[in-house]
Amino acid sequence: MSEGNIKIVVIGGGPGGYVAALRAARHGASVTLVEADLIGGTCLNRGCIPTKALLASAEALSRARAGQEYGFEVAGEIKPDFGRMMARKEGIVTRLRENVEALLKKAGVTVLRGRGSLAGPGKVAVEAADGSITTVETDKVILATGSEPFRLPTFDFAHPNILTSTEALALDEIPESLLIVGAGVIGCEFASFYSELGVKITMVEMLAQMLPLEDMRVAKQFQSTYRKRGINVMLKTKVESVSEYADDHVTVKLSDGSEISASKILVSVGRKPNSAGMGLDTVGVDVDPRGYVVVNDYLETTAPNVYAIGDLNGGILLAHVASYEAMIAVDNALAVDPAGRRARDLRSTPSCTYSHPEVASVGLSEDQAAEAGFTPVTGTYRFAALGKTMAMGEETGYVTIIADKETDAVLGASMMGAHVTDIIHEIAVAVQNGLTVRQLGDTIHAHPSVAEALMEAAHDVHGECVHIAKP
């Protein structure tokens, strides 16, 4: 290893930046982490963690309401205590953030509070809240400034009833109704949470399916579970304009000519990179037309010694990808691997939606496999036939494995139901390592377990499932 006393400045302290700082420190570099706001970034403070904390409250509420089904009586009305849910969420976020701060301190990372920008080759300027500027000399820079919600110009985000995901995580009281613009992962997770609290939800999506990055078959089944929960989903529909901003509601005009009013509107239509004002042109870092920093497979930007990871490079906007890219960028910056530079490989990135039901996929869908020239074969197993999910009272859902007929290689999987965001990783390992369906099916799976559905689906690929149950 040649890292010696190499100096690295990481700009941005989200799951990309703080993991990069910790890994670089582990490899002996002298590390400075610059953060303009809260350590932990979007993921820890305004994204992955707070949403999951709230969804856990919603799940507990739902189970308590189903008490009789599980064999117990609850005295009195079961109703959400919104303030306590929010306080629980804040407690979890604060605890996690403090843990990360402690890790950085222990690793000897210098944390500078302020807005970082490139100030020419080997120089990073940090502007503190009081306007003072510190310039840090460095050998390498890792840009990890992430992204922020994309604000559709149709809406006035200064109005208190127009929300991005950030405000939707910090409401003071439960709204009566919520119009969610965009039925991607984030919109669906909020719909799941607020619907459980009794909020009347309408979702408007301009594309032809919910969860547009998932396989159409899963999206359709997912949509039918939302319909059963009373969530109104309008596909191929756009919000054309806002007709009225009132204190207690907003009214919008839709592309089908109808009007709809809701107490609040959550706009979740994607993200925008935090690349403006970063001094990128001082060293020649290129951005694409949407503002994402251009990188190659080694996460190098177009400027020497400058890397960009996570949401900022616009690859796959997920926390686990940001952290994975952090490892690749640090290893390349410090020449950790004697065999040479590491290239990122995102083939086995799990994609998860933590709603009720959960949705998860990895690798290729059946259609993508066919497009890529494989002869796809599939195997499916339904949760309605699985001992563990029956015992849990979670019979909605299934897993489908996609494989190549010629080689028997596992190409991917898509699934919906309880704990699929946990069991997806078995297929990620299979895809990443070229395992076959036979190897998966011959692996003993614990009984009863949710993961057993994967073994059964593997048997089904070969027509050997003895507990046949197709959707």
3-class SS shares of the chain: helix, strand, coil, % to 5: 35, 25, 45
350 touches ligand FAD by CB under 6 A? no
Size of the site for ligand FAD (CB under 6 A): 38
Q: Cis before residue 175, ω within 30 degrees of 0? A: no
Determine, following the binding rule CB under 6 A, whether residue 43 of this chain makes contact with ligand FAD.
yes
Q: Are 14 and 43 in contact (CB under 8 A)?
A: yes
> Whole-angstrom Cα distance, residue 44 to residue 59?
20
41 touching ligand FAD, by CB under 6 A: yes
For the chain, give the number of residues: 471
Residue from 13, 182, 397, 412 binding ligand FAD (CB under 6 A): 13
Q: Which is nearer to ligand FAD, 14 or 417 (CB)?
A: 14
Stretch (H or E) spanning 192: helix 185-196
Chosen residue from 196, 205, 215, 311 binding ligand FAD by CB under 6 A: 311
- 17 is an interface residue for ligand FAD by CB under 6 A: yes
CB-side neighbour CA atoms (13 Å) of 336 = 16
The piece of 8-16, 95-103, 330-338, 407-415 that touches ligand FAD (CB under 6 A) is 8-16
| Residue numbers 261-300 binding ligand FAD by CB under 6 A | 274, 278
φ, ψ for residue 82, nearest 5 deg: -60, -45
d(CA 189, CA 104): 31
Nearer to ligand FAD, 359 or 451 (CB): 359
**Closer residue to ligand FAD in complex, CB, 319/457:** 319
Enumerate residues 6+ apart whose C-beta is below 8 A from 462.
379, 437, 438, 441
Cβ proximity of 202 and 232 under 8 Å = yes
Catalytic amino acids? 447
The only residue of 6, 9, 16, 457 in contact with ligand FAD, by rule CB under 6 A: 16
Q: Of the candidates 30, 32, 51, 378, which one interacts with ligand FAD according to CB under 6 A?
A: 51
Work out the number of other CB atoms within 10 angstroms of the CB of residue 91. Answer: 11
Closer to ligand FAD at the Cβ: 44 or 399?
Answer: 44
**Shorter beta-carbon distance to ligand FAD: residue 39 or 334:** 39
Binding string, 318-337, against ligand FAD, x = CB under 6 A? xxx-x---------------
Best CA proximity match to 264, nearest among 154, 165, 175, 391: 175
Phi-psi region of 388 (alpha: psi -120 to 50; beta: other; left: phi over 0): alpha
- Cβ proximity of 240 and 254 under 8 Å: yes
- What six digits make up the tokens of 11? 């700009």
Contact with ligand FAD (CB under 6 A): which of 37, 90, 139, 240? 37
147 lies in the binding site for ligand FAD (CB under 6 A): yes
Closest distance of CB 460 from ligand FAD, Å: 29
- The two three-digit tokens of residue 107, written as one number: 């690793």
Shortest approach of ligand FAD to residue 25 CB, angstroms? 17
Q: Residue 210 Cβ, how far from ligand FAD at the closest point, in Å? A: 16
DSSP, res 24: H
Nearest to 100 by CA among 323, 274, 328: 323
The residue within the footprint of ligand FAD, chosen from 6, 9, 10, 14 (CB under 6 A), is: 14
* Nearest CB to ligand FAD, comparing residues 9 and 234: 9
Using CB under 6 A, which of the segments 145-153, 233-241, 331-339, 398-406 binds ligand FAD? 145-153
CB of 388 to ligand FAD, least distance (A): 24
Asked if 310 is part of the footprint of ligand FAD (rule: CB under 6 A), the reply reads yes
393: alpha, beta or left? (left if phi > 0; alpha if psi -120 to 50) = left
Per CB under 6 A, residues contacting ligand FAD are 11-17, 34-37, 41-43, 46-48, 51, 115-117, 144-147, 165, 186, 274, 278, 310-312, 317-320, 322, 354
